[in-house]
């Protein structure tokens, strides 16, 4: 069934590319051109949603009723602002995997996109880890690693505002070696036309207000647990007891800090879905937004 989905989307892409009924490329410097583009994108996105809704495993679980209209209006009224996309979801929901697939499509079509993870904005907790001996010991003594207070939210907000206005920044880098060290201004982050920001902190406090598109990834809890435990063994070298303790922690933290983002998400997507099908949708969206006459 999934192979049929992929073949059908491939057929839609071929049909779009070979169509002789194409609109002239709008003049995006003029309001009329941007209005034409907005109308065109609205109709095409509705087409994507209608097709996906009939799929055996739809990607789009829910789309906010006024999202398409609001996003189109933003493109018309503030065209110079970069398109800011925030992606959140509970731990092991598939946020990073989805961003990796987006990155693969970016490379394929040479699209002007930046991908940034908010995990690099964790506070420096190196002194706390030295005090308690290990990260696990620090967590067991009550450190709430996923809370908004555990992130450099002011730095994140300032960086995202600069990026949205076309300014490159240097983000912190949180070292994933168990030391809890955060290196300030360590990673160059270019300001491209489209900026995808992944991580739970993307929807914390007023950070969420920076984004034009807010995405929540929802995934079956059993699949999340399987992903998390596999990652704990293979990537973090955690023993079974510590892995179970941390899983229980992130369940509570997700309920408290992450799930509220569903209420104001523009799009809720299915993190269980087939990635090949997901890539086909990305490719189709790319095709319909870049396939003009002239």
Kindly report the three-state secondary structure assignment for every residue of 98-114. Answer: HHHHHHHHHHHHCCCEE
Tally helices (H) and strands (E) across the chain.
10, 8
pLDDT of residue 274: 80
pLDDT score for 1? 46
Query: 14 is written with which tokens?
Result: 């071929």
Distance (Å, whole) CA 161 – CA 211: 10
| pLDDT single digits (tens) 192-210 | 988 999 999 999 999 999 9
pLDDT for residue 2: 47
Residue found by looking up tokens 């493109």 in the block: 75
- Give the Cβ contact number of residue 199 at 10 Å: 24
The string over 12-33, giving b where at least 16 C-beta atoms fall within 10 Å of a residue's C-beta and e elsewhere, is bbeeeeeeeeeeeebeeeeeeb
Q: What integer pLDDT is reported at residue 16 of this predicted model?
A: 72
Question: Is the separation of the CB atoms in 279 and 103 below 8 Å?
Answer: no
Closest CA to 67 of 281, 265, 259: 265
131 token code pair: 């005090």
Q: Write down how long the chain is.
A: 294
At 43 the pLDDT is: 86
Identify the segments of the chain with pLDDT beneath 50: 1-2
Q: Please state, in angstroms and as integers, the Cα–Cα distance from residue 106 to each residue in 101, 160, 252, 268, 286, following that order.
A: 9, 20, 35, 22, 10
Cβ–Cβ < 8 Å for 115, 107: no
β-pair partners for 62: 268
């Amino acid at each position: 069934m999934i192979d049929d989905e992929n073949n059908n989307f491939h057929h839609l892409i071929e049909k779009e590319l070979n169509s002789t009924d194409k609109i002239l490329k709008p003049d995006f410097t003029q309001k009329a051109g941007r209005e034409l583009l907005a109308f065109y994108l609205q109709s095409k996105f509705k087409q994507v949603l209608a097709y996906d809704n009939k799929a055996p495993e739809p990607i789009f679980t829910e789309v906010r009723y006024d999202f398409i209209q609001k996003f189109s209006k933003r493109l018309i009224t503030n065209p110079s602002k970069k398109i800011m996309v925030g992606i959140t979801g509970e731990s092991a929901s598939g946020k990073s995997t989805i961003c990796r697939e987006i990155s693969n499509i970016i490379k394929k079509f040479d699209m002007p996109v930046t991908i940034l993870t908010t995990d690099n904005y964790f506070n420096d907790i190196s002194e706390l880890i030295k005090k308690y001996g290990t990260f696990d010991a620090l967590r067991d003594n009550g450190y709430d690693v996923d809370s908004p207070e555990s992130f450099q939210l002011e730095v994140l907000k300032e960086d995202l505002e600069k990026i949205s206005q076309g300014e490159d920044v240097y983000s912190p880098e949180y070292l994933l070696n168990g030391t809890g060290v955060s290196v300030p201004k360590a990673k160059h982050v270019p300001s491209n036309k489209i900026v995808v920001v992944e991580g739970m902190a993307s929807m914390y406090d007023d950070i969420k207000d920076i984004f034009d598109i807010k995405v929540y990834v929802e995934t079956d809890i059993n699949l999340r647990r399987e992903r998390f435990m596999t990652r704990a063994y293979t990537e973090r070298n955690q023993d079974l007891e510590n892995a179970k303790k941390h899983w229980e922690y992130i369940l509570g933290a997700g309920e408290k800090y992450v799930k509220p983002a569903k209420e104001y998400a523009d799009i809720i997507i299915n993190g269980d879905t087939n990635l090949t099908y997901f890539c086909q949708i990305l490719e189709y969206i790319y095709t319909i937004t870049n396939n003009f006459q002239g």
